[in-house]
Chains A and B, each alone.
Chain A
Amino acid sequence: MSTAELSAVGKPARLSNPIAVDIVKMNKWYGDFHVLRDIDLRVKGGERIVICGPSGSGKSTMIRCINRLEEHQSGRIVVDGVELANDLKKIDEVRREVGMVFQHFNLFPHLTVLENCALAPIWVRKMPKKQAEEIALHYLTRVKIPNQANKYPGQLSGGQQQRVAIARALCMSPKIMLFDEPTSALDPEMVKEVLDTMVSLAKDGMTMLCVTHEMGFAREVADRIVFMDEGQIVEMNEPEQFFTNPQHQRTKLFLSQILR
């Protein structure tokens, strides 16, 4: 691969629609329990959204609906022009374009770091092995751990594992990245290296939805903060307004709890 191609790989893939994610009147139940209630959220291409709220408020469930790790029961979710329904083809199509980073990394422990990253390009994008490995190395370099490529995930620190997970998602050149509490399972000393990676991604113009409690990160990169409670979106605002001038009672309480 030429350097020009590689640097093209570095930029987030173009969305085919101005609206990256469109969630309309979406509802979800776990059995009798109404986890997500009338969710309306429209995310523009290139927008960075931070979702916060108390535990059990449905934040993770919501972003997991966007790549159909969870199924919604009513309403619409349209991801870059593709509506998520029971059509498996559409689901696969969305998953190819949406990268996800999990709280517990979910790396494949039986594969090396390089294999973890090259796996999806090879098997999903049908890329030749050599090219997939080049791309994998490119992104591993980007998250600053190219020299760990031949180790197994279990041999890395938590922060390194999470950066591998980010690289793994990036190898599919996603148009949208979902982060589900990416720093919650990390030792305090490792939070920064992961956040730095996310900040640099944001600076490249990646469309991002992050569930996180890192308010410093939210302030720095978010275009909008979505606050959820009891399965509903309670308040949504730009970071400055959100932190200095919260409107809803629940938001005020939440902020007073976490910002001491």
Chain B
Amino acid sequence: MTMAEGELAISELHFVRDQHLPPLAPPARMTGAVGWIRENLLSTPVNIAMTVVVLLLTVWIVWGLLDFLILDAVWTGADREACLMSTQHREIGACWPFVWERLPYFTYGSYPIPERWRVDVFFALLAIGVGWMLWLQAPRRDLGALYFFVVLPILSYILLHGFAAIGLPVVDTVLWGGVLVTIVVATVGIVVSLPIGILLALGRRSRMPTVRFFATLFIEFVRGVPLITVLFMASVMLPLFVPQQFEPDKLLRALVGIAMFASAYMAEVVRAGLQAIPKGQYEGAMAVGLSYSPMMRLIVLPQALRITIPNIVNTYIGLFKDTTLVTIIGIFDLLHTIEVARIDPKWATPVTSATGYTVAAIFYLIFCYGMSRYARATEARLQKGAKR
């Protein structure tokens, strides 16, 4: 019997497995460092070219930074003479003596020198609070929350602003500056914006039209106006309407402005998270008898916030950098103090500005990158906890 082409033999049509196949280890090129490099960096000509270009770019940037920050940098000196090419007869990088000398100013602004320990204590108290909240295995985190959200704000106010009755002279906020102001403004914005943002987001999705209307009005109004305008209104317009003796403190006004602004953005971030929660979750919660508030608190918000962590942190990072805008209404945040110091004739050299801005860049980079890393770690932890 002959078979036409394309037909299958009887033995190819029927099959019963008679031996079980055990799993084998993957081929060598999928494992090990060499395998990884070959697979990921050198897989195609385009990939090889990209790898080389990026490598060269990295070397160039790192070399330039090293040069400026360390190799050519000036480490000691009393004034601008130390950082001038004309007097030193060499390439001049960063002018670090300028930073050493002005570091207290960058940190405290014009806060009176004998009272600066109060700021240090505040930084320490804040660090304890932040550590307590962010370290998830920390003991008594409920106490930590109480400390962070109730005790710390009161203590900080007494410490920084002063309380004459217990012997702490009042320090007008006009004198506050530098890192102190940046940290205060950012912390208040970060801490206040999340709860208010959540309330606004829930309001915007409320079934009650009046609540929805006011939440929407607030969010859209604040989002529709640049932060600078909000700050201007808080600092210039508000005093026009309020009698002078009731006029709130300038820093306080800026704080309220920034907190409002951040809350509106946070509300939209949270709303996006709420919208991503399937209807079935609400129905599951309602079907077991949960009413609105426990349903939101126990079922919807935990899930919504979890998926919005990257966006929440993104908003926080934006907010942290936006604090520099308070400069505009004459508040001396870190960037503003650097701005003032760099034009001081005592240190005026071609590299002073670059050095000052480098300090600012490092400061903001550390904080923003820190937030970003923490968020990534949290995401990873939650992913591991609740694989779906």
Q: B-contacting residues of A (Cβ < 8 Å)? A: 67, 69, 88, 92, 95-96, 98-100, 102, 104-110, 119-120, 123-124, 152-155, 168-169, 172
Contacts and interface: CB of A to CB of B under 8 A. Distances in A.
B290 interface: yes
Nearest to A100: B287
B289 A109 contact: no
Interface string B371-388: 000000000000001111
Nearest to B300: A108
B306 A95 contact: no
Interface string B285-314: 111111100100011001100100000000
Q: Which of A105, A123, A154, A168 has the most CB of B within 10 A?
A: A123
B280 A109 contact: no
Q: Is the interface of B mostly helix, strand, loop or mixed?
A: helix
B287 A95 contact: yes
Contacts of A104: 280
A102 B284 contact: yes
B281 interface: yes
B284 A106 contact: yes
B72 interface: no
B280 A106 contact: yes
B288 A69 contact: no
B283 A109 contact: no
A18 to B, nearest CB: 24
Contacts of A172: 288-289
A203 to B, nearest CB: 24
Contact of B388 (A69, A106, A123, A152): A152
7 contacts: A69-B287, A88-B291, A95-B286, A102-B287, A108-B281, A109-B388, A110-B303
Contacts of A108: 281, 284-285, 299, 303
B386 A109 contact: yes
- 4 closest pairs, A vs B, by CB? A154-B388, A106-B284, A120-B288, A100-B287
Contacts of A88: 291
Contact of A124 (B284, B290, B302): B290
**Which residue among B284, B289, B302 has the maximum number of chain A CB atoms within 10 Å of its CB?**
B289
Given A107-B284, A109-B388, A155-B387, A95 B289 contact: yes
Contact of A154 (B288, B299, B302, B386): B386
Interface of B: 280-281, 283-291, 294, 298-299, 302-303, 306, 385-388
A207 B359 CA distance: 72
Contacts of A168: 288
A154 B382 CA distance: 13
Contacts of B287: 67, 69, 95, 98-100, 102, 106, 169
Nearest to B388: A154
Contacts of B285: 108
Contacts of A123: 290, 294, 298
Contacts of B281: 106, 108
A249 B283 CA distance: 36
A124 B299 CA distance: 14
A123 B291 CA distance: 10
Given A109-B386, A110-B302, A123-B298, A92 B284 contact: no
B289 A120 contact: yes
A91 B52 CA distance: 67
Nearest to B293: A123
A153 B288 CA distance: 17
B165 to A, nearest CB: 45
A119 B298 contact: yes
Given A106-B280, A106-B287, A110-B386, 14 more contacts: A67-B286, A67-B287, A92-B291, A95-B286, A95-B288, A99-B287, A102-B283, A105-B284, A109-B388, A119-B290, A124-B290, A152-B385, A153-B388, A169-B288
A92 B302 CA distance: 23
Contact of A120 (B280, B290, B388): B290
A77 to B, nearest CB: 16
Contacts of B303: 108-110
A172 B288 CA distance: 7
